[in-house]
Structure 1
Amino acid sequence: MKLRLPAFTSLLVLLLGCMLAEAGCSRAPSRPATVPVRGRITYRGEPVRHATVSFLAAGAPRLAVGTTDEQGRFSLTTYVPDDGAVPGSHVVTVKSNAVVPSSQSQSGTAAVASPEAIERAMQQAAIAVSKPAGKDARLPPKYGDRKTSDLRVDVADGENSLEIELSD
């Protein structure tokens, strides 16, 4: 039986469409894999509320950042909301925020946003964590700077649930 040209063309278009969809859905090769990281931060036994938390691994292309909620809980974002951090050893910074971030939901996870909005927020967070903590900080200033923070966390493959207690 002879294959008709329109049927062959339809099959070819369908196959090509599937290949393009598969290629478009895959992770960019330059983007390292991330694993979920959630946790809770306390200072003097109390939750650290509305603080910016950043994790930076040596050689990582960007920070993983989160904001604590009323209970001190956070969830990290590297590329998309709540995707976590790159596995490995991280220097952790924690900085007090003067205002409650509007992009956070009540659970401390990032609100749904466009990729452009996420990229802008990540750039702003990178700038914020690179500056020293202000005089009005509620936390010891050492935690606000990667050079002075003594917080180190190993992010393992799989789910990571952390309890971090800050001290003077």
Structure 2
Amino acid sequence: MRLRWTRALGWGLVSTTLVFLVEGCGRSAPSNRPKTIPVQGVVKYKGTPVEGAMVSLVPQDPKGKGAVGTTDKSGKFQLTTFTAGDGALPGSYLVKISKTTTKSQLSEAQEQEYMAKGKPLPPMIEKDELPAKYKQEKTSGLTAEVKEGVKPLEFDLSD
């Protein structure tokens, strides 16, 4: 069966949509917005770069604002808080990382048969590509400190 869609891509689209909703199209940044610090990093699993993983920084300060990024084919990401690639607010964060793929339960021929008959396709099968503990900030064991001059974040995940 072939891969039809990845959740990471879906999350990337959701993140982009949220950025546009927060920002509005064509508006300039509010002057009272807090200053972000550019943050980059890399995600590896067992030493191999992970493409399409969603990296989320969850602020430890309840008044803080989170940041998100999606890894490219080399496992690298740039965080976004307000506008694409702007970074994160200074502070301490818990980190969660996820990569979920989905695939059809049917072969391509079966899918076409279903569609020709007007039958709804069965639900997609979801698969976590990383250990489940990394999906939640409270169980991942990952943290990040964002401050001026922050070095690229490195997350080398294991089982």
Same fold, TM-score > 0.5, yes or no: yes
Please give the per-residue CA displacement for 1:91-110, whole angstroms capped at 9, x wherever unaligned. 011000427xxxxxxxxxxx
Q: CA deviation at 1:55?
A: 0.6
Task: Give the 3 Å change call, closer, same or farther, for CA 156–61 of structure 1 in structure 2.
Answer: closer
Residue equivalent to 1:163: 154
Query: What TM-score, normalized to structure 1?
Result: 0.58
Matching of residues 1-168 of structure 1 within 5 Å: 27-29=30-32, 31-57=33-59, 58-98=61-101, 136-168=127-159
Query: What TM-score, normalized to structure 2?
Result: 0.61
Larger fraction in strand? 2
Segments of structure 1 that go 5 or more residues without pairing to the other structure are 1-23, 100-133
Q: What is the alpha-carbon distance in structure 2 between the residues aligned to residue 52 and residue 26 of structure 1? A: 25
Q: What is the alpha-carbon distance in structure 2 between the residues aligned to residue 61 and residue 53 of structure 1? A: 17
Count of residue correspondences: 110
Task: Give the 3 Å change call, closer, same or farther, for CA 37–25 of structure 1 in structure 2.
Answer: same
Q: CA deviation at 1:147?
A: 2.2
Task: Give the 3 Å change call, closer, same or farther, for CA 53–167 of structure 1 in structure 2.
Answer: same
Please give the per-residue CA displacement for 1:11-64, whole angstroms capped at 9, x wherever unaligned. xxxxxxxxxxxxx967442x3221000011101011111011001212344320
Q: What is the alpha-carbon distance in structure 2 between the residues aligned to residue 60 and residue 167 of structure 1? A: 31
Segments of structure 2 that go 5 or more residues without pairing to the other structure are 1-26, 103-124
Q: What is the alpha-carbon distance in structure 2 between the residues aligned to residue 165 and residue 26 of structure 1? A: 35
Amino acid aligned to 2:36 = T
Q: What is the alpha-carbon distance in structure 2 between the residues aligned to residue 38 and residue 73 of structure 1? A: 7
Q: What is the alpha-carbon distance in structure 2 between the residues aligned to residue 28 and residue 78 of structure 1? A: 15
When the two chains are superposed, the root-mean-square deviation of aligned CA atoms in Å is 2.3
Residue equivalent to 1:20: none
Identity %: 42
